[in-house]
Amino acid sequence: MRHVDFSPLYRSTVGFDKLLTMLDSLAPTEQAQSYPPYNIERTGDNTYRITMAVAGFGEDEISIEAREHVLTVKGEKAEDKETEGTEFLYRGIAKRAFERRFQLADHVEVTGASLRNGLLHVDLVREIPEAMKPRRIAITSDTGGQPRQIEATKA
């Protein structure tokens, strides 16, 4: 089910295509993926952390890629030679491959990732360039110490 059609806005706006595309991608799809579960935390003014529950996956089975404002986390379980020939009566630990994508805002960069106790932590920081930070503009007077006369007529 498509909830909003942005195509009329594409025809009448200039420069907002990225915003509309991001809004369009946020729409829930019918096959919304729920595995693996994750948290997004704000750990400081400009720092964030994504925590994903990836129990059973090793460091060599997970790949993280950041490209063009999209963070992609993929996991693919390698064949386990230890369980070869074993018959499972019940398999509750997920072994399926996954791929999660996160939209990153402008100037958000991945600073690191770690895997501890089945939790994958991806640390992010937003670094705004100096040219884009607000700056204070000093106001100066150009009268040179003399009172400024705006209009005058001699009487």
Q: Which domain holds residue 14?
A: 1-32
Domain annotation covers residue 90: yes
Confidence of residue 1 (pLDDT cuts 50, 70, 90): very low
pLDDT tens profile 62-115: 999 998 888 999 999 877 666 677 887 887 776 788 999 988 888 889 999 999
- Compute the distance between CA of residue 140 and CA of residue 127 in angstroms, rounded to an integer: 32
How far is 58 from 139, CA to CA, in rounded Å?
59
Q: Give the residue, 65 or 30, on which the prediction is more confident.
A: 65
**In the β-sheet with 47-53, what is the strand arrangement from edge to edge?**
38-42, 47-53, 119-126, 108-116
pLDDT tens digit sequence for 101-146:
988 888 889 999 999 998 999 999 988 888 877 888 888 776 566 6
Domain count for the chain, please give it.
Answer: 2
Q: What is the pLDDT of residue 64?
A: 93
In a domain, 151, yes or no: no
Residue 55's pLDDT band (cuts 50, 70, 90): confident
Q: 66 and 22, same structural domain?
A: no
Higher pLDDT, 14 or 105: 105
> Do residues 118 and 65 share a domain?
yes
Structure tokens given for 124: 């992010």
Query: Quick one: 23 and 92 in the same domain?
Result: no
For tokens 């946020």, name the residue. Answer: 26
Q: Which residues contact 91 (CB under 8 A, 6 or more apart)?
A: none
Q: Look up residue 8 and give its two tokens.
A: 């009329």
Is the domain of 26 the same as that of 102? no
- Look at residue 137 and tell me if it is in a domain: no
Residue 153 within any structural domain of the chain: no
Residue found under tokens 């930070």: 133
The reported pLDDT for the residue numbered 56 is 83
Give the CATH number for residue 48. Answer: 2.60.40.790
